[in-house]
Chain A
């Protein structure tokens, strides 16, 4: 349990607001016993930005979000949300931020409508007052407003949780892996909802383990084991990938990957959907060399061609370098 120190007496000065940063993180570190969950992370999220923390479990995404949400205190470093310090001004931050944790944490034994009213009341507002903001999302679950939250399907729970996180009209929205374990269709719909919220001026910080979702963000931080590997726009990250990348396929994909890995000129060979993405040693291997080598291995319908990298290629390359 983390306890909060309440600094009373002196009203903390309103920190610089309106400089364009909604979230500022400076050299934040946090450990749990011997595990270093977040290691010296610094990043800034601009007002109105849709910013993604991209990385697998154990990257430190949740810990970082909990620190920003004032639910955990960092060991080192400083962070502000809307100009307010996450330790000193935690009460102010809680009023202006919406949070959707990774685990469904609404009241299962209250109905859809009761949950929404509850959160509105806690924030001293009403559903009617801010209905406009949640309308697009809430209408989809309104037919089930008398159902217990615990009895909703996964997709409906997600929509209710988002509605509750928005009901006090937050300036900043923090979403911890909202699409994990969600099917491809619902994921797509969820991102469409996020885009609409962004257009209403809300700053959004969202985490995801799905690399393909990075392209839907304005900027992303690629994270692994408590560290930020890189921060940039998806476009710049992909443009910054300087290696020569080939897509290769044949009718025997499993043997193809084994053959390529046994080839002395192959640096890496990984499955990417219907193709393998392959790099050669020192990037000096030509497509024809791969082709000639594989022809000798009796691959049918062989295709070898240059391909543009995806964010996932960039991430994997960063892991190799690390």
Chain B
């Protein structure tokens, strides 16, 4: 299988503080990769590097085939990103947001209209086209933010705690979208504090104090740590 992310001996220091301590891992095409760790374990730092927003202190990494030192602009064009904190502009309408991000991601104007209509139809949001994002329920916003993040058919989409704050049914519907994207070959790189969501990933890495302490399928991690579920695995590693 094709590797879409390769990371070798990646180190990031802030002064004397080592935020990422020799990270090594690969992520494959179409995989749902769970990137877990306690607060302050170094997840955000690593994610920023992989998105081309920050340079490592040393080590190598390639994302979507591009070098994260020299080709950060190409990295950015081939990935999508969504977080709970930032996703869409609240004071623009649904259609305006889609148009804005189409422009940012360089989607040819000729194909925008068709794609936009398909997206709105798939999400059942046709009637909300001219509504301000700020007026939509959180669950709709999250679905739309995810769809916009993969609107340009990136190789990888990074999701930073995408499902916070919604009810349990809406949270599960969001995972239906994640599965759908993975089925279409888009790699999903996701962080979450919901341990049941860790079970939905193909593979999971768990960081602690800047290092990756464990990386395997949820099934194998549970065996390895003699744990009933991923919550127990996490508590054993991160405590």
Contacts and interface: CB of A to CB of B under 8 A. Distances in A.
Nearest to A155: B39
B175 interface: yes
Contacts of A293: none
Given A184-B195, A186-B38, 8 more contacts: A56-B165, A180-B164, A181-B164, A181-B193, A184-B38, A187-B193, A210-B194, A315-B167
Contact of B196 (A55, A56, A181, A271): A271
8 contacts: A55-B167, A56-B166, A58-B138, A154-B39, A182-B39, A185-B238, A186-B38, A254-B179
Contacts of B235: 184-185, 188
B200 interface: yes
A183 interface: yes
Nearest to A185: B238
A187 B38 CA distance: 10
Contacts of B175: 271
B216 interface: no
A232 to B, nearest CB: 18
Nearest to B182: A254
Nearest to A268: B169
Contacts of B200: 253, 271
B231 A184 contact: yes
B60 interface: no
Of the listed residues A55, A57, A182, the one surrounded by the most CB atoms of chain B closer than 10 A to its CB is A57
Interface in A245-289: 253-254, 257, 270-274
Interface string B177-213: 0010011000000000111100110000000000000
A253 to B, nearest CB: 7
Contact of B218 (A55, A182, A183, A274): A274
Given A181-B164, A185-B234, A57 B138 contact: yes
Interface residues on B, range: 35 or more
A295 interface: no
B128 to A, nearest CB: 17
B238 A153 contact: no
Contacts of B41: 183
B37 A274 contact: no
B19 interface: no
Contact of B161 (A181, A184, A273): A181
B183 A254 contact: yes
A319 interface: yes
A183 B38 contact: yes
B229 interface: yes
Contacts of B199: 271, 273-274
A44 to B, nearest CB: 25
Nearest to A320: B169
A103 to B, nearest CB: 13
Contacts of B176: 257
B196 A272 contact: yes
A154 B40 contact: yes
A183 B199 CA distance: 16
B137 A58 contact: yes
B2 to A, nearest CB: 20
B238 A184 contact: yes
A56 B179 contact: no
Q: Which 3 A-B pairs have the closest CB atoms?
A: A57-B165, A273-B196, A56-B167
Given A273-B196, A274-B229, A183 B167 contact: no
A209 B172 contact: no
A319 B183 CA distance: 29
Contacts of B172: 270-271
Contacts of A186: 38-39
A110 to B, nearest CB: 22
B238 A319 contact: no
Contacts of A210: 194
A312 interface: yes
B70 interface: no
A184 B238 CA distance: 9
B137 A184 contact: no
B109 interface: no
Nearest to A153: B40
Of the listed residues B137, B172, B195, the one surrounded by the most CB atoms of chain A closer than 10 A to its CB is B172
A181 B41 CA distance: 14
A224 B167 contact: yes
Interface in A209-239: 209-211, 224
A58 B195 CA distance: 23
